[in-house]
Amino acid sequence: MKRVELIDISKSYDKQNDVISNINVTIEPGEFFVLVGPSGCGKSTMLRMIAGLEDITGGTLKIGDKVANNLTPDKRDLSMVFQNYALYPHLTVQQNITFGLDVKRMKKDDQRKKAEEVAEMLGLSEYLNRKPRELSGGQRQRVALARSIVSETPICLMDEPLSNLDAKLRAHMRSEIRRIQRQLGITMIYVTHDQVEAMTMGDRIMILHEGKIQQVGKPIDIYNYPANPFVATFIGAPPMNLATGEYDQATSELVIGGEIRLPVPKEEIGKLPTGSMTVGVRPENLYPVTPETKAEDIFQTTVTNVEILGNETVFSFAIAGKEWMAKWSGQWHIDIGDQLPVRMEFESISIFDNQSGELIKRTVDHGNYVTDKEVTS
């Protein structure tokens, strides 16, 4: 296992404009680290700089204890799995898996043995003599992964490896790749634009936007405490609802989108900024009204769209001209055009500074905890 450290890393193609700038992050040995962001944010470019396939314009890249800026890819002691698998069509699965071992001058018998071990791990044993064209997308992905594993490098880079697979197979391969990474104990750096992959696979994730780091942390911490409105809307499906808010001193209420009035607890009043702010709330933190609900926590909506997903119901409504969404557990018989009361609590909202975008009020931790129970026979 090796640490990967990026210190003030930047990348420019024209020596004037940086496509990546001021990247500072340390990826710990044995960590599953995910780079996530929209298309064009620089995540694949960063991965290619780590691999040695792109020059580094500025800063220092360290792999283990070595400065790697000028090392050729073969000297960096890492492997890479590409989005298009990069398999050789004229070679068999076994030959594709062991292709890199020829460079290491490993004996053919040892190559075959290693290929068989890795193929068994990935469920490829019966396909070793087939050509890539005879395999499904998921099987080809496993071959590319097997080729990376068999090289026994301490660092594996993956560039959107699941984007060509269907949804069901993607879900399976997510757990498969995570299981293998844990089993081998390697350092994995994984690029994706899919926030679900990032949330479910990463020990930590780094969110990029326009070549700059927006936030680095554990997935659940980023979900609960997004650093700015971009992160808040990028992570989460459906995304966090946002609207402009202002504090009304006369009534001690937070006015959201000019429509929702939410009482502010006394202990929170002094913490609110003066003037306008950005208020956010996750769809699952907009609740159905119950007999115990306080009248001041209720606002009325007109339903504009409904999605009944079996185990949950998602519906939309407009606040200040923006579409907001609520996500309720279970099946709800809601129709478009219904007038529906919704409950929102001050503790469940996030507040961001309008100028800097900085998170200045966090939501509460809504997580559930499993307590240890004594098992008696």
Write the pLDDT tens digit of every residue in 1-16: 789 999 999 999 988 8
* pLDDT confidence of residue 173: 83
* Beta strand 155-159 pairing with 187-192: parallel
- Work out the percent of the chain whose per-residue pLDDT is above 90: 63
Q: Specify the DSSP element, H or E, that contains 115.
A: helix 108-121
* pLDDT confidence of residue 44: 93
Q: Quick one: 334 and 272 in the same domain?
A: yes
Q: Quick one: 56 and 176 in the same domain?
A: yes
Q: Quick one: 353 and 275 in the same domain?
A: yes
Q: Quick one: 158 and 67 in the same domain?
A: yes
Q: 168 or 366: whose pLDDT is higher?
A: 168
Average pLDDT over residues 199-222: 96
* pLDDT confidence of residue 105: 75
Q: Quick one: 221 and 243 in the same domain?
A: no
Q: Is the pLDDT of residue 351 over 60?
A: yes
Backbone angles phi, psi at 336, to 5 degrees: -60, 135
* pLDDT confidence of residue 372: 61
Average pLDDT over residues 187-199: 93
Q: Quick one: 223 and 245 in the same domain?
A: no
* pTM more than 0.85: yes
* pLDDT confidence of residue 376: 47
- Work out the percent of the chain whose per-residue pLDDT is above 70: 98
Average pLDDT over residues 95-106: 82
Q: Quick one: 314 and 222 in the same domain?
A: no
Write the pLDDT tens digit of every residue in 289-308: 999 888 888 999 999 999 99
> Does a structural domain hold residue 11?
yes
Number of folded domains in the chain?
A: 2
Mean pLDDT of all residues belonging to the chain? 90
Q: Quick one: 243 and 225 in the same domain?
A: no
* pLDDT confidence of residue 27: 97
Q: Quick one: 168 and 246 in the same domain?
A: no
Q: Quick one: 225 and 244 in the same domain?
A: no
User: Which range (143-147, 258-262, 369-373) has the least confidence?
Assistant: 369-373
* pLDDT confidence of residue 373: 52
- DSSP-H helix ranges across 185-326: 195-201, 219-224, 229-234, 266-269
> Does a structural domain hold residue 292?
yes
Peptide bond preceding 238 in cis form (omega within 30 of 0): yes
Write the pLDDT tens digit of every residue in 21-40: 999 999 999 999 999 999 88
* pLDDT confidence of residue 364: 83
**Helix-helix angle 137-150:108-121, to 10 degrees:** 130
Q: Is the pLDDT of residue 370 over 70?
A: yes
Write the pLDDT tens digit of every residue in 64-94: 999 999 999 989 999 988 878 888 999 999 9
Q: Quick one: 212 and 292 in the same domain?
A: no
CATH code, domain with 309: 2.40.50.140
State which residues form the domain around 97.
4-229
CATH code, domain with 124: 3.40.50.300
Write the pLDDT tens digit of every residue in 117-152: 888 888 889 999 999 999 988 888 889 888 888 888
* pLDDT confidence of residue 332: 94
- Here the contacts of 251-257 (C-beta below 8 Å, separation 24 or greater) are 254/279, 254/346, 254/349, 256/319, 257/319, 257/320, 257/322
Backbone angles phi, psi at 231, to 5 degrees: -60, -40
Domain boundary among 229, 252, 282: 229
> Does a structural domain hold residue 234?
no
Domain boundary among 180, 204, 229: 229
| Measured CA distances, 337 to 56, 108, 133, 210, 316 (Å) | 55, 70, 51, 39, 10
Average pLDDT over residues 282-287: 95
> Does a structural domain hold residue 375?
no
Q: Quick one: 221 and 260 in the same domain?
A: no
Q: Hey, which residues does 12 pair with through a beta bridge?
A: 18
